[in-house]
Amino acid sequence: MSAISSRRKPPRVGDAPWVRRSLVGFVLIIGAFLVVAPLAVIAVEAFSQGLKAYAATINHPDTRHAIMLTVITALIAVPINTLFGVAAAWAITKFDFWGKRFLLVIVEIPFSISPIVTGVAYLFVYGLQGLFGPLLDAYEIKILFALPGIVIASMFVTAPFVARELIPLMQAQGRDLEEAATSLGASGWRTFFSVTLPNIKWALLYGVVLCNARVMGEFGAVSIVSGNIRGQTNTLPLHIELLYHDYQAAGAFASASILAALAVITIIAKVALERRGAGRGRKKLSAANAVATETIS
């Protein structure tokens, strides 16, 4: 009887072979035009004038300075945003306090504000005519049109990435393991490093990878606060724009190939972390219990 009733069930949307093939084909076509084609054009144009011209562009002092400034910005902004994301996720998921929803809103704000607006806002805060401008100028502290302004703008734009990955996971895990560990004498730091951190490490790495990719590719906010000074405050995205406006298309594509390679590496790392996390997902509870038992003992 059950077999007959199962045969009479209406088909789900997409069960028909032609529907599945059409959807898959549509997605592949859109992906080819939006993702594969631009990457292919960057690779072809970057080497259009030969390997020697490509190497000359990469070894140019302005390009090397742009790469160095981008890396330094990432080395400063990503660790700070990682600490902020872990602290925000820990506070939101492990404690009940007045203003929790407000903290969630603060974490989400950078996603709802245009980076250009962010850069302009920093001009009115740290610029010479801004809120703190006269005080900073009196002590000869330079924020805008220098490395600090680039780092601050990059941090604002990428602040939510780590927290957004950790909050849903930590909410799903609950507080039982941490409360059990602390009730049996484990300190707060030991509870974090022995119980919480092992359970969030893959989501944490995932958020760090996305944060790093966005920091290195940020353009809008950085273009406002950096002053766009060639060879001094230009990050790699800004340097690419300058080369393009100088009609050095091959050089622009050569520099863009670095960011494109970073994007490909980010995608590979993202897939690898997703697989690693999924592979450990079935054993998450037993592993967490084992860690908690070890901590308590």
Structural domains counted in the chain: 2
**% of the chain beyond a pLDDT of 70:** 87
Q: Is the pLDDT of residue 65 over 90?
A: yes
Q: Are residues 35 and 90 in the same domain?
A: no
pLDDT digits (tens, 9 = 90+) for 201-239: 888 988 998 899 899 989 989 999 988 888 888 999 999
Q: Are residues 116 and 222 in the same domain?
A: yes
Mean pLDDT within 230-254: 88
Q: Are residues 74 and 209 in the same domain?
A: yes
Cα separation, 226 vs 144, in Å, equals 6
The predicted model scores a pTM of 0.81
Q: Are residues 94 and 148 in the same domain?
A: yes
Task: Kindly state the tokens that stand for 77.
Answer: 């902004």
Q: Are residues 215 and 268 in the same domain?
A: yes
Q: Are residues 75 and 186 in the same domain?
A: yes
Classify residue 7 by its DSSP letter: H
Does some domain include residue 4? Answer: no
Q: Are residues 204 and 249 in the same domain?
A: yes
Cα separation, 201 vs 113, in Å, equals 29
Query: Locate tokens 């490909």: which residue?
Result: 264
Q: Are residues 100 and 139 in the same domain?
A: yes
Cα separation, 156 vs 133, in Å, equals 19
Domain housing 42: 12-46
Does some domain include residue 160? Answer: yes
Task: Kindly state the tokens that stand for 209.
Answer: 């990878």
Which residues 6+ apart lie within 8 Å of 201 measured at CB? none
Q: Is the pLDDT of residue 2 over 60?
A: no
Say which CATH number the domain at 120 has: 1.10.3720.10
- Residue 65 has phi, psi (to 5 degrees) of -65, -40
Q: Are residues 279 and 199 in the same domain?
A: yes
Cα separation, 214 vs 259, in Å, equals 10
Q: Are residues 201 and 261 in the same domain?
A: yes
